[in-house]
Amino acid sequence: MDTTKQAVDRRIVHAVCPHDCPDCCAMRITVEDGRAVRVEGDPDHPITRGFLCVKVNQYVEHVYSERRVLTPRRRVGPKGSGQFKEIGWDEALDEIAARFRAIVAAHGGEGILPYSYSGTLGLLHNYSMDYRFFHRLGATLLERTICTAAAVEGNKYTLGSYYGTDPENFPDAKLIICWGTNPVTSNPHLMPLIKAAQDNGATLVVIDPRRTRTAERADWHLQPRPGTDAALALGLMHVIIAEGLHDEEYVRAHTLGFDELRERAAEYPPARVAALTGIAEGEIVRLAHLYATTKPAVIRLQYGMQRHSNGGMLVRVVTCLPALIGAWRDPSGGLLMSTSGGFGFNFRALQRPDLLGDRRPRSVNMIQLGDALTGLTDPPIAGLFIYNADPVASAPDSNRVLAGLAREDLFTVVHDTYCTDTTRWADIILPATSQLEQTDLHWAYGNYYVQMNRPAIAPLGESKPNAELFRLLAARMGFDEPCFRDSDEALIDQALDTDRPWMRGITRERLARERWVKLDLPQNGPGGRFAPFAEGGFRTPSGKVEFYSARLKELGHDPLPTHVPLVESAEGSPELHARYPLTLLSPKAHHFINSTFNDVATLTRREGRPTIEIHPDDAAARGIADGDLVRAFNDRGECFLHALVIDRVRPGVVASPATWWASKFKCGQGINALTPSRPADMGGGATFYTNLVQIERVTSGE
Ligand SMILES: Nc1nc2c(c(=O)[nH]1)N[C@H]1C(S)=C(S)[C@@H](COP(=O)(O)OP(=O)(O)OC[C@H]3O[C@@H](n4cnc5c(=O)[nH]c(N)nc54)[C@H](O)[C@@H]3O)O[C@H]1N2
Ligand SMILES: Nc1nc2c(c(=O)[nH]1)N[C@H]1C(S)=C(S)[C@@H](COP(=O)(O)OP(=O)(O)OC[C@H]3O[C@@H](n4cnc5c(=O)[nH]c(N)nc54)[C@H](O)[C@@H]3O)O[C@H]1N2
Ligand code: SF4
Ligand SMILES: [Mo]
């Protein structure tokens, strides 16, 4: 017997976390004999600093999960039965091309709807060949609104530019306000930067109706009623302006509409704001003083606060604050909502809108997928192509989505790495590669670095990356434009071919060599650091922060910051509130990214089970004890979860960390059976948290 041990072929590959998370971590993948055995954070990356999160630490388990789809499959049982048989790629592509041709012949390209969101945030696999394909087809356009749309729009009318304070400057801030964001869970690599500031004497304030993991690390936690943050911000403005604590010089030079704002803020004295928000008068005054007198002061916003019917306005009002006190003067002051607007990739080259020719297809707001599938005629949606998304788990009003997916005359293709709630409803399932098996180019929405991901291992089974799938499908459809043959490398070069000054010097070769490159940000602040609006330069029509927005007035909104009650609330709909008195928040789960990672047993075990947090007073009023199985319901649907009786949420608010696969709930209905598909005030954004429900006890705990 030969006992000689073969030497193991071990390599380390640089990769990038592709998930919908602001951090965009640099990963080091250890590969032994072609198998990934270890995934860790790159110690040299300035943001990652050698650690990943609790989720991506389990990446090896995720990549080799039993839930992977490894071959194309065709449905053989009734819709939704989960009965499939394996088929080859040729057969799958032939069938899709034939069905798509027939749909185009009967209804035109608009009879087909692509549906995608953030399975990966890579430029190649979420913003390139897919768009080319559907543009060439003349398919219905998808409005990608499910996450950020209200914020983007509210910000547009106020600051204009969608970038802000460099998080690497947070350690020098003296006041950090996490306003409706929970970075310990959703943006973990911001925490060491916040901790460094706290160690330097900074105060961390968290404004959140729920006592989150971040609130537990804060010096001060304020718990407003959901959807009342505009009133709170107006209360701060009231105190700041009345006491002359605003920065007159900055306001005069770089804002529009201060006189009107002063009058508006006068309508929000602390007593009124206390009644609206549920925060005590004294606390409002104290926060106003702290904010106006502590320098540098920086606000961190993300997307939790804007998942409301008034979400655009909430973001707009809060983004007015830094200009009022001149916080933008300092590189460590100001506000960070997203960094994405700082990048200047060439999306026209990637997505080729010119392939539309002179066609102007209709568009569908993705949060209304169920309405589109069940309601659109002229033409109806006859073909649906889902990739990078799991709408049965993640889209609102899932009963409506399911009614659409159940249509016998709908031809549904789902490209995913895993068997999900949505693949169950497919006619054809196509296997997607994981990030370890593909090339991509990455940007971050919480920092200013560009990176390139290289495959660490060969594709598992017959899985294929998105861009490759759309190349193949384009060929099957007879699309012979050369752009459908562009390689991954060519796509990367096209994305980087831009004259935006901050992108200067970023090339594929340099990314391969240096692994990450920071944007060439202006070093205009003290110490040569980036201070995005120290000298103004806002991208609004006036070039200033628009306290008063003529564009909003034209659109029928209040041109000034204002408090608008939530459509579903005691103030906004007393009759509905009488029947469904609890506001259900479904914020981000610590161990998942949206519905991704439900396949990883280590993570589902740590997350526990579908749970709803309820205040002891609300629980007592319903005879609910900790651990009881309860039914949450409203006019849209119902779902069954276990109660966690805890004062983490305010009375009147319940919270269920999302998103568990619907199939993991008792009775198979997930949290989104309850959520509304009603668009927000701006941008058609999602309103998951403007969601009144009632809760009743089903059985006692086990
Ligand atoms: N672990 C993990 N990380 C994630 C994700 C995940 O699913 N899991 N998802 C990623 C994605 S897609 C996104 S968009 C980001 C989102 O990141 P965040 O915006 O930080 O996360 P959310 O949990 O959606 O919302 C943050 C907080 O908003 C609070 N909130 C709700 N309504 C209101 C309100 O009216 N006012 C105030 N002040 N607060 C309110 C919620 O209680 C919640 O704690 O996270 C990303 N990171
Ligand atoms: N109740 C409630 N619902 C919410 C939210 C909430 O706060 N509460 N948040 C909303 C937000 S902010 C967001 S961003 C959305 C996210 O909604 P989705 O984008 O639908 O996110 P996921 O449910 O995680 O589904 C992503 C899918 O893409 C697949 N995937 C990953 N990589 C690839 C790839 O390379 N190719 C292909 N073809 N597939 C891939 C994953 O396996 C996964 O099944 O959810 C929203 N839904
Ligand atoms: S999910 Fe976020 S924190 Fe976790 S590895 Fe990816 S980028 Fe980093
Ligand atoms: Mo999101």
Atom of ligand 3 nearest to the CA of 48: 8
From the CB of 53, is ligand 3 less than 6 Å away? yes
Atom of ligand 3 nearest to the CA of 41: 5
CATH entry 2.40.40.20 includes domain 574-697: yes
Tally the residues of the chain. 702
From the CB of 229, is ligand 1 less than 6 Å away? yes
Ligand 1 binding pocket mutation candidate from 57, 588, 604, 691 (most atoms within 8 A of CB)? 588
Atom of ligand 2 nearest to the CA of 686: 10
From the CB of 24, is ligand 3 less than 6 Å away? yes
Between CA 652 and CA 643 the distance in angstroms is 15
Handedness of CA 433, 437, 440, 446 (dihedral sign): positive
pTM over 0.75: yes
- Which residue has its alpha carbon closest to ligand 3 atom 3? 53
Domain with CATH 3.40.228.10 in the chain: 164-337+526-554
Between CA 466 and CA 416 the distance in angstroms is 9
From the CB of 670, is ligand 1 less than 6 Å away? no
Q: Which two tokens stand for residue 82?
A: 């989960």
Q: What is the mean pLDDT of residues 350-371?
A: 98
| Beta-bridge partners for 75 | 84
Atom of ligand 3 nearest to the CA of 17: 6
Exposed, middle or buried, 363 (CB in 10 Å: 0-12/13-18/19+)?
middle
Query: How confident is the model over 377-405, as pLDDT tens digits?
Result: 999 999 999 999 999 999 999 999 999 99
Ligand 4 centroid vs 3 CA: distance in angstroms?
Answer: 53
Q: What is the mean pLDDT of residues 65-88?
A: 97
From the CB of 21, is ligand 3 less than 6 Å away? yes
Ligand 3 centroid vs 189 CA: distance in angstroms?
Answer: 8
Query: How confident is the model over 405-443, as pLDDT tens digits?
Result: 999 999 999 999 999 999 999 999 999 999 999 999 999
Q: Three-state DSSP class for 375?
A: helix
Domain with CATH 2.40.40.20 in the chain: 574-697
> Average pLDDT over the chain, rounded to whole?
97
Query: How confident is the model over 588-628, as pLDDT tens digits?
Result: 999 999 999 999 999 999 999 999 999 999 999 999 999 99
Ligand with minimal distance to 435 CA = 2
Q: Which residue has the tokens 């819709």?
A: 79
Q: What is the mean pLDDT of residues 659-665?
A: 97
Between CA 298 and CA 276 the distance in angstroms is 25
Domain with CATH 3.40.50.740 in the chain: 73-147+343-516
Query: How confident is the model over 241-258, as pLDDT tens digits?
Result: 999 999 999 999 999 999
Give the β-pairing of 255-256 and 220-222. unpaired
Q: What pLDDT was estimated at residue 702?
A: 59
- Which residue has its alpha carbon closest to ligand 3 atom 4? 53
> In CATH, what number does 164-337+526-554 get?
3.40.228.10
Between CA 162 and CA 232 the distance in angstroms is 23
Query: How confident is the model over 87-120, as pLDDT tens digits?
Result: 999 999 999 999 999 999 999 999 999 999 999 9
Ligand 3 centroid vs 21 CA: distance in angstroms?
Answer: 6
Ligand 4 centroid vs 616 CA: distance in angstroms?
Answer: 30
Ligand 3 centroid vs 144 CA: distance in angstroms?
Answer: 22
- Which residue has its alpha carbon closest to ligand 2 atom 10? 147
Sheet holding 220-222, edge to edge: 220-222, 203-207, 175-179, 297-301, 334-336
Does residue 375 have a pLDDT over 80?
A: yes
Residues with CB under 6 A from ligand 2: 20, 117-120, 125, 146-147, 303, 387-391, 393-394, 415-418, 420, 432, 466, 586-587, 593-596, 658-659, 671-672, 675, 688
- Which residue has its alpha carbon closest to ligand 3 atom 7? 24
Q: Which CATH class is domain 73-147+343-516?
A: alpha beta
Give the β-pairing of 611-614 and 653-655. antiparallel
Does residue 567 have a pLDDT over 90?
A: yes
